[in-house]
Chains A and B, each alone.
Chain A
């Protein structure tokens, strides 16, 4: 089946003020795919995400969503096209209840009844959250926070889910759980774009991967090939398991 990719970055340059951060980035994500973006600190990973979300404006090149050019569109518009993000460190609203946090995820939706049904559906997928619906976000354990952040993102009915460093600062058991959650979401048909430092973990679940170095893509391949790539082993995979 040949279809237009859900997200496409074509020769994208992005700047912070006068400082160029991204240099001719080419990335493409097809519907239902799980793609990861790897790279060290300050390589431009977060900037790439911000570019996709329209937080950083593109200076040159094209950003396409379902084949349609969306350069310069506002973040709100891009989100309403079907992009959702699970931010670094999860960022759930600590003083809102679990239910309110979920409702924030559906903020841009107008089909209230459908939202209610979606929340029900999510609770069957993540039963641990069911008993905590009225608890404040701050009281959730790390694992529960993670699920909530994921549910919140999914409630906007995205066709593309962005994840910024999902394993950062997590206990090992939660890292496992996090990547299982990602796989689970992906299997339901949502395309996922994961930005990660933990290259081993990300590649173990991804279909394809891109490697970013000082703002340029230096490697792009299937996850399997990247895991066996010598340069990858040396620079990113290391001994950490």
Chain B
């Protein structure tokens, strides 16, 4: 395993980080700088928390600063003379984080279905309301202390150690920051990280691969709030006071700047961004208000020079990879050259062993299914059965409703009439991730890969619905998490190997966007297979492939059924492919089924020739 071989290096890195953190507080030139040092740690945590929501899950959450405030005020109310509640810090810290997380859940549950700008507006309103409440809740009963805030908190006492001196705070804050950094790193590489990443890249594709997007977004919201809440408590204690102005919009902008500067989702980058933006403006302090302009200036410069963030794709940080498809001079070899070198690679060891053929049991049944968009009828009165281990092709003119049928089955649309049953139980009306879980996976006509995720991670997303590790298993690397990760990894590699060397080797760690077109098509299929579904719906698997690639993919699809026993529903325009592998063919035209039967029967049907085949094609 990779982490074991890297164990020694890891130990060295950890030790040196600890040594640096132990020494740094004593290297600060003045008490003022020691304070900056502490604040920097706070910002590191804050920006990492925001990164969970905005970076990992891609949600434009402008209420984040309010969560920071909720944590701060929770601490203030529970450890001060305000209500004479004096709880110990070790209880208040988690309490502040959990209370804030509760608020995160509540706000998330009401607004998470909104996207992009709309989510931003609602969350911004929440942040503004929060600040107004802080200012105005000093009467009739004084809760927040109004504009004067709350101050004079109990000294932190951790198991007898009192945290009072600036050095002690520096240690406490940076130790917490370290915990947050490690936690975020672990999250990023877990099924949660992959799930969020997938949602951010392409939410629809994530849903049909079994990721419960709504729930995962909610968890991102809550996770960000948890970190913000805990950080808020630390901040309140560090400052020994809380004011509404600590949690205003300007603060939010600063945190966003740090995250964007570091690069969304890039943890080392964000730590660096937070440090830079905390420290640099201090040198400009004498210029007063102009100091704030530096934030804007830095951001503009960065967006012009490094739009992917400070540490995004820097050469030294990404390992140089061997590219067997390039020659010595770095020139790309032709895909056709690769193809003609040696024997075909794709056909796996199981080739030729035909074990399965069409069965008699109906797996998937559509009965009088209809779908309309506005006034346009897309599918009308559609009936068909899909038998176990059958290869059934749907053909028909463009706009005949073929893709709509896939969208209906996979739960992207809900039919306005009729029923769709899978193994006897109704699946129309289920959410896409539930349909996937039931056992039906699909690919998309216009490739919807997670482009910025690696090939391996793309395949692993398919495992999301089958794994159970929660946040605790992930953060503490409990045995269950390790077992599931190893299993996902093994399974994903196994599936990718079905395509010969096309998707394995150095390509495993390549981002999907760098694959050739044909390989991206293959990866879409691999990703669908890796979900453990038994029914595969393939939407034009050979689109954009040349004749060799087409005959290769034809063979592969046939093998999926013959050797591995998958049931396959296929949309395809290339008649050679359809003719070679279909048990039966259905023809759609204007949303109606106009013919059904063997390829030969359908191809000779007058109506089909008229609507679809034309005179030449046969």
Asked if A214 and B550 make an inter-chain contact with CB atoms under 8 angstroms apart, the answer reads no
The reply to whether A241 and B617 form a contact with Cβ atoms under 8 Å apart is: yes
| Segment of A38-46, A47-55, A108-116 engaged in the interface with chain B | A38-46
* B29 at interface by CB-CB < 8 Å: no
A140-B399 contact given A214-B333, A236-B546, CB 8 Å threshold: yes
Please give the number of chain B residues whose Cβ is less than 8 angstroms from any Cβ of chain A in the complex: 40
A237 at the interface (CB under 8 A from B): yes
- Least CB separation from B398: chain A residue: A142
B563 contacts A by Cβ under 8 Å: no
Q: What 0/1 readout, one digit per residue, does chain A (197-229) give for beta carbons within 8 Å of chain B?
A: 100000000000000011100000000000000
Residues on B with C-beta less than 8 A from A239 are: 547, 551, 576
Given known pairs A41-B517, A43-B334, the reply for A172 and B546 (CB within 8 Å) is: no
CA distance A175 to B573 in the complex (A): 10
Given the known interface contacts A42-B335, A145-B398, A241-B617, the answer about A172 and B573 at a Cβ–Cβ threshold of 8 Å is: yes
Report yes or no: A235 in contact with B336, Cβ–Cβ below 8 A.
yes
Also in contact, A176 and B616, with CB within 8 A (given A41-B546, A168-B543, A238-B547): yes
- Please judge, given known A-B contacts A41-B516, A42-B517, whether A170 and B334 are in contact too, CB under 8 Å: no
For the complex, is B331 an interface residue (Cβ under 8 Å from A)? yes
CB distance from A198 to the nearest CB of B (A): 9
B397 contacts which of A168, A173, A236 (Cβ < 8 Å)? Answer: A173
* B544 interface residue (CB < 8 Å to A): yes
Q: Tell which of B332, B544, B576, B615 touches A240, judged by Cβ atoms closer than 8 Å.
A: B576
A33 to chain B, nearest CB (A): 24
From residue A46, how far is it (CB to closest CB) to chain B in Å?
10
Q: Which chain B residue has the least Cβ–Cβ distance from A213?
A: B334
Task: Determine the chain B residues whose CB is within 8 A of the CB of A177 once the complex forms.
Answer: 614
Q: Are A173 and B547 in contact (CB under 8 A)?
A: no
User: Cβ of B612 < 8 Å from any Cβ of A?
Assistant: yes
Q: Which residues of B contact A241 (CB under 8 A)?
A: 576, 617
Q: How far is the CA of A214 from the CA of B338 in the complex (A)?
A: 12
A143 cross-chain contacts in B, Cβ below 8 A: 397-398
Q: Are B611 and A41 in contact, CB atoms less than 8 angstroms apart?
A: no
Does B613 belong to the interface (CB within 8 Å)?
yes
The residue that A172 contacts in the complex, of B333, B337, B575, with Cβ under 8 A, is B575
B314: Cβ under 8 A from any A Cβ: no
Q: Are B544 and A173 in contact (CB under 8 A)?
A: no
* Contact of A172 with B547 in the complex, beta carbons under 8 Å: no
- List the B side residues contacting A20 at CB < 8 Å: 331
**Contact residues in A for B334 (Cβ distance below 8 Å):** 40, 43, 213-214
- Output the nearest chain B residue to A21 by Cβ-Cβ distance: B332
Bound Cα distance A141, B402 (Å): 13
> Do residues A236 and B547 form an inter-chain contact, with CB atoms below 8 A?
yes
- Rounded to whole angstroms, the CA-CA distance of A42 and B331 in the bound complex is 13
Q: Please tell me if the beta carbons of A197 and B613 are within 8 angstroms of each other in the complex.
A: no
Q: Give a binary string over B443-456; 1 marks a CB under 8 Å from any A CB, 0 the rest.
A: 00110000000000
CB-CB under 8 A from B613, the residues of chain A are 172-173
- Distance (whole angstroms) from the CB of A48 to the closest CB of chain B: 16
| Complex: A176 Cα to B334 Cα, angstroms | 30
A174 and B397 contact, CB distance less than 8 A: yes
Is A170 within 8 A of B544, CB to CB? no
Q: How far is the CB of B553 from chain A (nearest CB, A)?
A: 13
Contacts of B551 in A (CB 8 A): 238-239
Beta-carbon nearest neighbor of B332 in chain A: A214
Q: Are A214 and B516 closer than 8 Å at their CB atoms? A: no
Q: Which residues of A contact B546 (CB under 8 A)?
A: 40-41, 197, 236, 238
Contact call B614/A41, Cβ cutoff below 8 A: no
Q: Are B335 and A172 in contact (CB under 8 A)?
A: no
Chief secondary structure at chain A's binding surface: loop
Bound-complex Cα distance A173 to B399 (A): 13
Verify if A171 is at the interface (C-beta below 8 Å from B).
yes
Q: Residue B430 at the A interface, CB < 8 A? A: no
A168-B547 contact, Cβ under 8 Å, with A140-B399, A145-B398:
no
Complex interface: chain B residues within 8 A of A175 (CB): 617
Contacts A176-B616, A213-B334; A41 near B545 (Cβ below 8 A): yes
Please indicate the chain A residues that have their CB under 8 angstroms from the CB of B516 in the complex.
41-42
Please indicate the chain B residues that have their CB under 8 angstroms from the CB of A42 in the complex.
Answer: 332, 335, 516-517
Question: B457 contacts the other chain (Cβ, under 8 Å)?
Answer: no
- A74 close to B (CB within 8 Å): no
Q: Which of B333, B445, B550, B617 contacts A169 (CB 8 A)?
A: B445
Question: Is A139's beta carbon under 8 Å from chain B?
Answer: yes
Q: A172-B614, A214-B332 are in contact. Are A240 and B399 (CB under 8 A)?
A: no
Contact between chains at A176 and B617 (CB < 8 Å): yes
Question: Does B574 belong to the interface (CB within 8 Å)?
Answer: yes
State A145–B398 Cα separation when bound (angstroms). 10
In the complex, per-residue mask of A157-194: 1 if CB is within 8 Å of any chain B CB, else 0: 00000000100111111111100000000000000000
- Assuming the contacts A41-B516, A141-B399, A145-B398, asked whether A171 and B573 have C-beta atoms less than 8 A apart, the reply is yes
Residue among A20, A140, A174 with the most chain B CB within 10 A? A174
B559 on interface, CB distance cutoff 8 Å:
no
Q: Given the known A-B contacts A140-B399, A236-B547, A240-B547, are A171 and B612 also in contact in the complex, defined by CB atoms under 8 Å?
A: yes
Contact of B335 among A40, A145, A165, A168 (CB under 8 A): A40
Does A141 contact B398, Cβ atoms closer than 8 Å?
yes
Query: Could you say which residues of chain A place their CB within 8 Å of the CB of B549?
Result: 41
Specify which chain B residues have a CB less than 8 angstroms from the CB of A40 in the assembled complex: 334-336, 546
Interface status of B349 (Cβ within 8 A of chain A): no
- B376: Cβ under 8 A from any A Cβ: yes
CB pair B397 A142 closer than 8 Å: yes
In contact, B543 and A169 (Cβ under 8 angstroms): yes
- Please, which residues of chain B bring their CB within 8 A of the CB of A41? 335, 516-518, 544-546, 549
Q: Which residues of B (561-618) have their CB < 8 Å from a CB of A? A: 573-576, 590, 611-617
Residue B396, interface by CB 8 Å: yes
A155 to B598, CA, bound (A): 44
Minimum C-beta distance from A229 to chain B (A): 14
Central interface residue in A40, A139, A239, by most chain B CB within 10 Å: A40
Give the shortest distance, in Å, between A188 (CB) and chain B (any CB). 23
How many angstroms from the CA of A138 to the CA of B373 in the assembled complex?
A: 11
Residue of A nearest to B610 (CB): A173
Closest to B519 in A: A41
Question: What is the CA–CA distance of A142 and B396 in the complex, to the nearest angstrom?
Answer: 11
**How far, in angstroms, from A236 to B546 measured CA to CA in the complex?**
7
Bound CA–CA A228/B82 (angstroms) = 92
List which B15-55 residues lie within 8 A (CB) of chain A. Answer: none
Is there contact, CB below 8 Å, between B398 and A170? yes
Complex: how many Å from CA A174 to CA B398?
8
Also in contact, A139 and B614, with CB within 8 A (given A41-B546, A171-B398): no
> Which residues of the partner chain A approach B84 to less than 8 Å between Cβ atoms?
none
Q: Are A172 and B398 in contact (CB under 8 A)?
A: no
Q: A41-B517, A143-B398, A236-B547 are in contact. Are A170 and B573 (CB under 8 A)?
A: yes
Residues in A neighbouring B544, C-beta threshold 8 A: 41, 165, 168-169, 197
28 contacts between A and B (CB under 8 A): A40-B335, A40-B336, A40-B546, A41-B544, A41-B546, A42-B332, A42-B516, A42-B517, A141-B397, A141-B590, A142-B398, A142-B399, A143-B397, A165-B544, A169-B540, A170-B573, A171-B395, A172-B573, A172-B613, A172-B616, A174-B398, A175-B617, A176-B614, A197-B545, A213-B336, A239-B547, A240-B547, A240-B550
B binding-site residues for A, Cβ under 8 Å: 331-337, 376, 395-399, 445-446, 516-518, 540, 543-551, 573-576, 590, 611-617
- Known pairs A41-B516, A176-B617. 7 more at Cβ < 8 A? A41-B545, A43-B335, A141-B590, A171-B398, A172-B614, A236-B546, A239-B547
Residues of A within 8 A of B (CB): 20, 40-43, 89, 138-143, 145, 165, 168-177, 197, 213-215, 235-241
Closest 8 CB pairs of A and B: A142-B398, A238-B547, A173-B614, A172-B617, A41-B517, A214-B334, A171-B397, A141-B399
